[in-house]
Chains A and B, each alone.
Chain A
Amino acid sequence: MEQVVNGILVVNTETIPGKIITETMGVVSGSTVRAKHLGKDIFAGLRNIVGGELTQYTELLQESRQEAVGRMVSDAMSIGATAVVNVRFATSAITSGAAELFAYGTAVKYE
């Protein structure tokens, strides 16, 4: 059961456990900015008064992170890599309700 996205193996360790890296191919990255529609923003605002988890924003960030990882993977595919190692995530809030998610890592070939 190899967890691969479009044939590319993604890990956040420096090496791939149980595999040998033969070639590094540089930094690959993917980013996305997403927002929820106004209705969900209003609900999140109401929820914020009461406190607790803001489920709308949890979903939003989950979706956008998957999209960012997907873009990073297609970047790696385009240069012919077989895996992305040492993946890091960065988040920045541009306005309330929209967030930029950035995923980056090193594209490698392994055997």
Chain B
Amino acid sequence: MDSPDNRIGIVAVVSLLMLSSFSIVAVAQNSDAGEGSIAWGLILCLLPFMILALFGILWSLAYPALFIWGAAFSSGDVEKSHQDAISRRMVSREKAGKEILNTINGGYRGDVSSSGLVHANGVFGPSHWQLLIAFFNNLVGGSVTSFQQVISAGRAEVMQRLREQAEAQGWDEVINVRIDTSSMTPQSQNNKNTVRGVEIFAYGTGIRYD
């Protein structure tokens, strides 16, 4: 089975083997050579840890910058994408002459010629700034506006994707539309550095009239 998972495993194992054999060769060489090769052997052995440390340094530099970027632009971006989805919705509604999505189960017209499954999805997450705002909102109680904006903008976007998908596949209408919302974050929170996102998934049955 030539799946990408297998290939990734092979590449990882081969690179680890190469790294260890290089370091062994380097250490073996230094027994008859001078002190310079001992240093090289050490460097080769420590290379993975050095790369990890480099990532740590980069992360500690990048995190505050990204956090400030998020604080400055995230709520504006959410608002913009919501407006964008609404305007695209108007365009596709004009093109079809009506709203093509509905939640009626079963064909209510007799002249259906073909049908099939249509689905669209998207994963949306609040920025860390919005998480912080939500934390303070939770202390006071009431509606958590920052989350609500993210979710409703995401849902509008996914519904629009479903409309566009139905248009692209040539369906006249999509019946029995269902919207699922599921958290990408696992329930057991051992580590804090998990990605927080909500997946919105919309699916329905596209039908075509004669």
Q: In the assembled complex, which residues on chain A have CB atoms less than 8 Å from the CB atom of B121?
A: 58, 61-62, 65
* Residue total for A at the interface (Cβ-Cβ under 8 A): 43
Q: In the assembled complex, which residues on chain A have CB atoms less than 8 Å from the CB atom of B185?
A: 93, 96
Q: Is the CB of B201 within 8 A of A89?
A: yes
Q: Is the CB of B197 within 8 A of A57?
A: yes
Q: Is the CB of A49 within 8 A of B66?
A: yes
Give which listed residue, B81, B122, B150, B203, contacts A12 with CB less than 8 A.
Answer: B203
**A70 CB, nearest partner CB in chain B, Å:** 12
Give which listed residue, A14, A16, A45, A57, contacts B123 with CB less than 8 A.
Answer: A57
Q: In the assembled complex, which residues on chain A have CB atoms less than 8 Å from the CB atom of B124?
A: 52-54
Place the interface of chain B in its size category: 35 or more
Give which listed residue, A1, A61, A95, contacts B208 with CB less than 8 A.
Answer: A1
A52 to B73, CA, bound (A): 10
Residues of chain A in range 1-59 having any CB-CB distance to chain B below 8 Å: 1-4, 9-18, 37, 41, 44-54, 57-58
State whether A3 and B116 are in contact (beta carbons under 8 Å apart), knowing that A51-B127, A91-B199 are contacts in the complex.
yes
Q: In the assembled complex, which residues on chain A have CB atoms less than 8 Å from the CB atom of B206?
A: 3
B77 adjacent to chain A (CB < 8 Å): yes
Residues of chain B in range 180-210 having any CB-CB distance to chain A below 8 Å: 180, 182-186, 193-197, 199, 201, 203-208
A94 to B186, CA, bound (A): 6
- B110-124 interface mask toward A, CB cutoff 8 Å, 1 = contact, 0 = none? 111111110101111
Q: In the assembled complex, which residues on chain A have CB atoms less than 8 Å from the CB atom of B81?
A: 52-53
A94 to B187, CA, bound (A): 9
A1 to B127, CA, bound (A): 43
B62 adjacent to chain A (CB < 8 Å): yes
Q: Is the CB of B127 within 8 A of A49?
A: yes
A41 to B157, CA, bound (A): 23
Known A-B contacts: A37-B8, A54-B123. Give 17 more (CB < 8 A).
Answer: A1-B170, A2-B115, A2-B116, A11-B116, A12-B176, A17-B106, A17-B115, A46-B66, A52-B78, A52-B127, A53-B154, A54-B195, A54-B197, A58-B123, A61-B123, A89-B119, A91-B182
Interface residues of B (CB under 8 A from A): 8, 62-63, 66-67, 69-70, 73-74, 77-78, 81, 105-107, 110-117, 119, 121-130, 150, 154, 157, 169-170, 175-176, 178, 180, 182-186, 193-197, 199, 201, 203-208
Interface residues of A (CB under 8 A from B): 1-4, 9-18, 37, 41, 44-54, 57-58, 61-62, 65, 69, 87, 89, 91-97, 99
A-B complex: 8 closest residue pairs judged by Cβ atoms: A3-B116, A51-B127, A17-B107, A18-B112, A51-B74, A57-B123, A17-B112, A96-B194
